[in-house]
């Protein structure tokens, strides 16, 4: 066994899920670590001239913040493979066209657009937002039947919440709902 090197397993990164919708805004290039941060968001707003990419292979490295494992969950596999293997960047417009980003706006509108998305989400029922986000994140790896079952289970649970009563009542009364998170 002399001369044989054994590699210890790479430690698994802890789950840093904030348990709330994360909106990420970039008003400049998002390359390497910046792209990893952008990828971690639930919603993404970028400036129109932004370039996005994972350039680590050009430096003899690999993306080490989840990019290799998760980029194919956010864009077509062929594009993810091209970006990861070449280290080349894509434009904000291409990222929008493939569904990686939600909005492409001028630099001076990036923060305002991200803030407006946050306000829209915050006006909704907090329990429903949390459950919907959880379903979005977990259903990707499930069969359709499993995802539908999980959705039905959560839907039945939340149908009895105070927020689920308040929402339709406010709609019928033509007023804004007042959600309490219960």
Residues acting as catalytic residues: 36, 56
- What does each C-alpha distance from 98 to 11, 86, 138 come to in angstroms? 32, 18, 21
Q: What is the DSSP string of 63-122?
A: --SSHHHHGGGTS-HHHHHHHHHH---EEHHHHHHTTS-SEEE-GGGHHHHHHHHHHHHH
**Dihedral, 132, 138, 140, 146 alpha carbons, nearest 10:** -90
Other beta carbons within 10 Å of 157? 12
Other beta carbons within 10 Å of 125? 21
CA–CA separation, 150 and 139 (whole Å): 8
């Amino acid at each position: 066994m002399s001369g044989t090197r054994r590699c210890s397993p790479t430690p698994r990164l802890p789950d840093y899920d904030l348990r709330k919708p994360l909106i990420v805004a970039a008003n400049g290039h998002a390359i390497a670590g910046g792209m990893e941060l952008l990828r971690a968001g639930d919603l993404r707003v970028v400036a129109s001239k932004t370039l996005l990419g994972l350039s680590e292979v050009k430096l003899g490295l690999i993306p080490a913040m989840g990019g290799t494992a998760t980029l194919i969950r956010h864009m077509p596999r062929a594009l993810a493979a091209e970006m990861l293997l070449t280290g080349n960047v894509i434009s904000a417009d291409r990222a929008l066209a493939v569904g990686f980003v939600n909005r492409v706006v001028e630099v001076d509108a990036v923060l305002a657009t991200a803030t407006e998305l946050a306000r829209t989400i915050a006006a909704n029922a907090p329990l429903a937002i949390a459950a919907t986000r959880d379903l979005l994140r977990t259903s990707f790896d499930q069969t359709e039947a499993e995802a539908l079952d999980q959705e039905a289970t959560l839907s039945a649970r939340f149908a009895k919440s105070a927020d689920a009563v308040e929402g339709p009542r406010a709609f019928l009364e033509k007023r804004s709902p007042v959600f309490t998170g219960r």
